[in-house]
Each structure stands twice: as structure tokens, then as C-alpha cells.
Amino acid sequence: MDERGYRDELASICKILYDRGLTFSSGGNMSVRVDPEHIVITPSGRNKGMLRGEDMIKVNLDGEVVGEGKPSIEVGMHLIYYRMRDDVGAIVHCHPPYCTSLAIMGERLKSNLTPEGAVLLGEVPIAPYGTPGTTRLVDSVREHVFSDCLIMERHGALAVGSDLISAFNRMEELEFHARLQFIVGDRAREFDAEEIEKIKQG
């Protein structure tokens, strides 16, 4: 896929996230790797449901903008993943209601309630709070960079994938599990380690 294709795909994923109530207004930020040295990321302060491919901002892995525009203030936490993990091709960070509720309460997300959760999510850590756009937030994410999903304390959720579709799928599954946790409450029982291993091997 060429850069234009990645830009358009990113805009499409942003629209789906917005339409499904996984992100709101200008909240969140999403990105995709377009080549080994560059990503495109959503612009700062723009409604995610109204973006076009040409609105996305190209940035190199040193954080320098290529061309024009202002990237999301949280570009630093995206770059940590791209620098440290060659397998990450896309990142979705948004503020879905159930995940964000857990983030506000500082409550762990139970990711092993269903077979799909066990496969797609793995253990989901809570990254300590950092003010958006600061090095503290970047450092908080760096602590958990080898997790494919995060709950970000008092902030929202983050999911990565080899491409935009896999990152989106993880975010959707993450919010589904958070919602199940609220519906089932104290009766939410996770699979034991033996069953999780069987599921992953299957």
C-alpha cells in the first residue's frame, strides 16, 4: 500500500471508531506506519469522525513533521511503540466509555472472560497517569510497551496491531470486555491459566 492508501485507511478507521462510540469529538489519536522511518497520525484537535486522508500528519520516528500540520500532542507515546517494536504497524488510542470508566476507577480489566479476549488481548496492564502530551505520559506507556493493550489511568485505552484492522479489532474487543465486566459485575470469572493456554494453542 502507498502512503495515500494508508492515509485513507486511517481516516476510514477513525470514522468507524467515531460511529461506534469508541471515540468522541477530538478525543484520542490513531496512527499507522507507512514505511520503516515514517508514520502518519491524526492531527491535533480535530473531530475523528470528520477526517480525510489528506488531513493526517506525516512524522518521522524522531518526531519531526514531514510537510505541514500539527500532529496529536500524544505523538510521543506512539513513537515509543514504533521505535521499540518492529511488529507494531498501527496504534489506536481512544476514550471508549467502559474502558475509560475502569481507567478512572483504577480497576483492572478482566481480559480472559471469553476465548476471543484471551487470544486478542492478553494481560492488560494499567499505565499510571501522565498529563497528555508530557514526557511523564510517554514514560508511563514505555513501561508497558510490550503489551498489546493498555488501560491508561484516568485517560482511556490503547491498542496496537500489525496493521490498522488488527489494532481496531483489539480496541473493539477491549471495550467489549470492559462492558461485560460492568454487566456481570462480581460474577465475572476469568478462565484459569490452563484453559487460557489451551485456547491460545487452539
CA distance 161 to 142: 16
Active-site residue, 190 included: no
CA distances to 44, 46, 65, 102, 114 from 57, rounded to whole Å, are 9, 12, 7, 31, 37
Q: Among residues 9, 37, 74, 190, which one is catalytic? A: 74
Q: Are 151 and 127 in contact (CB under 8 A)?
A: yes
Rg (CA), the chain: 16
Alpha helix positions (H), the chain? 3-19, 75-84, 97-105, 115-120, 135-142, 164-184, 193-201
Which residues neighbour 178 within 8 Å (Cβ) at sequence distance 6 or greater?
96, 98, 99, 101, 102, 109, 157
CA distance 202 to 195: 11
Q: Which residues are catalytic?
A: 74
